[in-house]
């Protein structure tokens, strides 16, 4: 059996600083109850999850400045390999994101744009990624936004260059806006927008399963093999030529949202790389994302916690559902179907 690798690429990493407080007060002092600092970025959440399953995962990213030093320290604390991080000392300072969480569920997120990347460094990053020797069946994930200075069509460029060298690697994109739209033009194997990102992609509101199905079909027609859409507490859907499926985990009280989609994608890649079954992979991915919703910060659910959620995770064929069902009513569908 060939040794498969998992390479999450995050070119706009950050130091995530999360603050927890009782309530938000404008024009007044907000008392912080707890503070947590972690190495942020979608690809690093993927790595945190996969590392538990003893697979070969090496995240790719850029670091620099004092934040870069701290960033690598935080990764090492989570046993995440750092040898594929491109260090640019003295030239860039990776960004900080400040997130404020309040007891009523309100979240305020302040994200810096990231450092300005000079053109010669952009070329170095592209060359570095393309030169990585990946075995057949390996997975590469292009995750998140791109920092200033890197062309907005970078993902498209990288996908095309990788395809010239190796056509047996699974290429995934989890991004938003033009970054996602441009990547789709290069026909990656898999995309994983959430429902809001999908609506932005099509510039329209998607309210029911029928509208969701049409969007999925259009993306499949563009040459993408798998389209996965996460919808928070309303579950997830998977579209491919083999069929269309809907999955939903149990309801999580006071569910978190940080990293759930990343863990979902990691779970799908992990299961599909072994079993090659889309329906079961979607169910497992949904259980992974749901298990992450029970955790705060960047805390990752353990495999045994995923298995507990998996036993309560519902999946159905689209053909068995009414396409007129509103997405906002899918929670009721899960409760009804499971009784």
Supply angle C-alpha 249, 190, 9, rounded to 5: 100
> Cβ distance 192 to 175 under 8 Å?
no
Q: For the chain, what percent of residues have pLDDT higher than 90?
A: 74
Tens-place pLDDT, residues 174-185: 999 999 999 999
Residue 2: what pLDDT? 52
Q: Please give the Cα distance from 120 to 153 (Å, whole number).
A: 16
Q: Give the contacts of 203 (CB within 8 A, at least 6 positions apart).
A: none
Q: How sure is the predictor about 260, in pLDDT bands with cuts at 50, 70 and 90?
A: very high
Looking at the domain covering 1-188, what would its CATH class be? Answer: alpha beta
Average pLDDT over residues 199-219: 96
Confidence of residue 75 (pLDDT cuts 50, 70, 90): very high
In sequence order, what are the beta bridge partners of 39?
Answer: 15
Kindly state the average pLDDT of the residues 303-327. 92
Q: What is the DSSP string of 108-162?
A: EEEE---PPPPHHHHHHHHHHHHHS---TT-EEEEES---TTS-TTHHHHHHHHH
pTM of the model: 0.92
The pLDDT score that the predictor gives to residue 338 is 39
- Domain ranges for the chain: 1-188, 192-339
| 212-255 pLDDT per residue, tens | 999 999 999 999 999 999 999 899 999 999 999 999 999 887 77
CATH number of the domain located at residue range(s) 192-339 in this protein: 3.40.1190.20
Give me the phi and psi of 17, to 5 degrees please. -115, 110
CA distance 133 to 120: 22
As a residue count, the chain comes to: 339
How confident is residue 91, by pLDDT bands cut at 50, 70 and 90? confident
At a CB cut-off of 8 Å and minimum separation 6, what does 308 contact?
A: 291
Residues 134, 101: Cα–Cα separation, whole Å: 40
Residue 262 confidence class, pLDDT cut points 50, 70, 90 = very high
| Positive or negative: CA dihedral 24, 329, 270, 166 | negative
| Cβ-based burial of 6 (10 A; exposed 0-12, middle 13-18, buried ≥19) | buried
* Ranges of H-type helices in the chain: 42-50, 65-77, 119-131, 154-165, 177-184, 195-202, 209-221, 260-275, 278-293, 303-310, 330-337
Res. 84: pLDDT tops 80: yes
User: 275-312: per-residue pLDDT in tens?
Assistant: 999 999 999 999 999 999 998 777 899 999 999 999 99
What are the phi and psi torsion angles at 53 (to 5°)? -100, 15
How is residue 53 written in tokens?
């399953």
Contact 210, 198 (CB under 8 A): no
- Is the fold of 1-188 the same as that of 192-339? yes
Backbone angles phi, psi at 238, to 5 degrees: -130, 130
């Amino acid at each position: 059996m060939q040794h498969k690798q998992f390479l999450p690429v995050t070119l706009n990493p950050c130091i995530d600083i999360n603050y927890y407080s009782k309530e938000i007060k404008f024009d007044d002092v907000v008392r912080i109850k707890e503070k947590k600092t972690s190495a942020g970025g979608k690809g690093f959440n993927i790595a945190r999850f996969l590392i538990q399953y003893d697979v070969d995962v090496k995240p790719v990213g850029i670091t620099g400045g004092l934040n870069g030093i701290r960033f690598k320290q935080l990764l090492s604390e989570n046993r995440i390999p750092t040898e594929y991080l491109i260090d640019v000392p003295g030239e860039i300072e990776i960004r900080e994101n400040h997130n404020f969480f309040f007891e009523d569920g309100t979240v305020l997120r302040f994200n810096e744009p990231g450092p300005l990347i000079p053109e010669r460094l952009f070329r170095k990053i592209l060359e570095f990624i393309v030169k990585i020797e990946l075995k057949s069946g390996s997975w590469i994930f292009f995750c998140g936004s791109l920092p200033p200075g890197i062309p907005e069509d970078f993902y498209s460029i990288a996908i095309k260059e990788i395809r010239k060298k190796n056509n047996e690697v699974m290429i995934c994109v989890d991004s938003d806006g033009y970054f996602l739209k441009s990547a789709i033009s290069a026909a990656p194997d898999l995309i994983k927008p959430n429902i809001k990102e999908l609506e932005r992609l099509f510039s329209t509101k998607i309210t029911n399963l029928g509208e969701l199905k049409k969007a999925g079909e259009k993306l499949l027609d563009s040459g993408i093999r798998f389209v996965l859409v996460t919808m928070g507490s309303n579950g997830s859907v998977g579209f491919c030529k083999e069929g269309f499926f809907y999955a939903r985990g149990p309801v999580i009280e006071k569910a978190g949202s940080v990293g759930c989609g990343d863990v979902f994608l990691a779970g799908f890649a992990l299961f599909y790389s072994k079993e090659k079954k889309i329906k079961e992979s979607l169910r497992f991915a949904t259980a992974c994302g749901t298990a992450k919703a029970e955790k705060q910060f960047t805390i990752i659910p353990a495999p045994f916690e995923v298995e507990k959620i998996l036993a309560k995770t519902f999946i159905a064929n689209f053909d068995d559902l009414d396409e007129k069902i509103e997405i906002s009513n899918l929670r009721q569908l899960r409760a009804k179907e499971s009784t």
